[in-house]
Structure 1
């Protein structure tokens, strides 16, 4: 009587390990690759405002007119389309401190003003002399002495508040009313004397022609945010009235 031989030797045992990615059939590899590409495209689509138009990021300040808020974000899409728009100087350098306007005069490298220098800084690329004038009128920390504007904070909140107040001045006409009528191009034309990159001026850039479309997209966001805030305020008021009614 002979011993029964095993069906397989140690070296012949069938492998029970799952195949790795590269050992899978080509169809499976192709499907997994397609899924990965679609996921990446979906993430890029979701993050596109931050990746492609970082200058359109929401304002730091709360409140204000939604039409002006959308306009301010549109201005910064052309003037300061970087990840840190509040800290950028003319020419692309950044400052760390915003205790006051940086007042650094950077050389203009191209355009009709090539060779001159500019003190433009911040999200709205405001010149130092312009900032002193506007801050003396609209800065929340201003005093009765216009000379004190030299030391006023240039922090993001105050950049937003000062420019919002400036765009609300009668000198521009009623910008919110014009924008509510869809007159974004006439508004950009009027402001192009101050911000030449808005189009219709002497220093257009690659973003200029896209600004009306960008504005309309940003306006949808600002109107939605305003509606949400209004609903929240209404809920709080209703809750307060209810508490007063049931209070013993």
Structure 2
């Protein structure tokens, strides 16, 4: 290999790969450590940035990592604000965590009707079940789903069905209505929760006279959920 430079000085480097595995041609195609799928094109100074042609598709190892940062950025959720669509907002880990807070406070899942006489698991998610459940002699309710939507409330949200996806996005619509998103996205989680206490009677400070969760408990739920969703 000592004479390889003299043998090929007059050859077009784009017609034949470099045969110099040493420092000058480091990482050229003829290097015993180079993958055979690479050609020895050197777009920069001689021996530098070999295999760096941006048109090369057969990348592997550290070379493939050159585009890793861009790929990772492209997988990040788009920045959102309180005016973003429900579809975009529901992907944000902070919004997901607040949805978990409300579901925890209400003690409900996607198939849950309010507990009382006449309550049963929801099996048809084509529409709000609109079952009148008797809670006491003086109180009846149609609350249903993970966020315990009353039928009258649900009817005004114009959702296509009662699927989990629709329930999540409908709850985000209520977040908007109750000004919960702006403080949430600014980091004022406690204020966001308090702003929703006229929509959900289980949230701290609710004026409806029903049992409520403590703020400490709900902030702990939020923190755990945010950690989980941020890692996905």
SS of equivalent to 1:117 = strand
**Residue 213 (structure 2) pairs with residue 222 (structure 1):** no
Task: Give the Cα–Cα distance (whole angstroms) in 1 for the partners of residues 222 and 205 of structure 2.
Answer: 16
Task: Give the Cα–Cα distance (whole angstroms) in 2 for the partners of residues 187 and 221 of structure 1.
Answer: 20
Shift of 1:208: 6.0
**Stretches (4+) displaced over 3 A:** 205-209
| Equivalent residues of 2:111, 2:145 under 8 A apart | yes
How well do the aligned residues superpose, as a CA RMSD in angstroms? 2.4
Change (3 A) 1:192 1:160: same
**TM-score calculated relative to the size of structure 2:** 0.54
Partner of 2:164: 156
**Residue 187 (structure 2) pairs with residue 182 (structure 1):** yes
**TM-score calculated relative to the size of structure 1:** 0.50
Task: Give the Cα–Cα distance (whole angstroms) in 2 for the partners of residues 208 and 90 of structure 1.
Answer: 22
Count of residue pairs the alignment pairs up: 140
**Residue 99 (structure 2) pairs with residue 72 (structure 1):** yes
1:88 is matched with which residue: 105, 112, 124?
112
SS of equivalent to 1:107 = strand
Partner of 2:147: 124
Of structures 1 and 2, the one with the larger relative CO (CA 8 A, separation 6+) is 1
SS of equivalent to 2:110 = helix
2:178 is matched with which residue: 172, 175, 183?
172
**What pairs up with 1:94-109 in 2 under 5 angstroms?**
94-109=121-136
Q: Tell me which protein shows more helix as a share of its residues.
A: 1
Which 5+ residue runs of structure 2 have no aligned equivalent? 1-86
Which 5+ residue runs of structure 1 have no aligned equivalent? 1-60, 140-151, 226-248
